Structure 1
Amino acid sequence: MAKVTPGAFIRQVRQEASKVTWPTRKETLITTGMVFVMVFLASSFFFLVDFGIQRIVKLILSLGA
């Protein structure tokens, strides 16, 4: 790996940072909204699966009592 002086490193970092394209405010809001929707859907799914498994386990355990 080649040694780079601190000044050259800073120049390279600035050059790479200038290539970054930041999302617009609208894109950020849409993406954030989609994250919240997916979190809600995933949590609902896992809640229902957990509830179903809980009911099945309780049913099986009640058969032995």
Structure 2
Amino acid sequence: METVKIPLIDTDNNWTKAEYHDDYNHDAVLDAHWGIEHTYDYFKSVHNRSSFDGEDAKIVNNVHYT
């Protein structure tokens, strides 16, 4: 089994279903981004913690879908 990583970015940082609902099931990517965004915001606002390491580390989502 070969793993292929395809980066998806949003140039205006406004992630919407209108942009990512397509034949490649990118809705899964949008859902993963939404979830991690809300998790990050929770830890920042409730615990005053920047990212998972407290030093604003970059967060990478890896999504597998079929």
Which TM-score band applies after superposition, normalised by the shorter structure?
0.3 to 0.5
- The two structures have a TM-score, normalised by structure 1, of 0.37
- Max Rg structure: 1
Report 1 or 2 for greater relative contact order, CA contacts < 8 Å, sequence distance ≥ 6.
2
- The two structures have a TM-score, normalised by structure 2, of 0.37
Which one has a larger percent helix, Structure 1 or Structure 2?
1
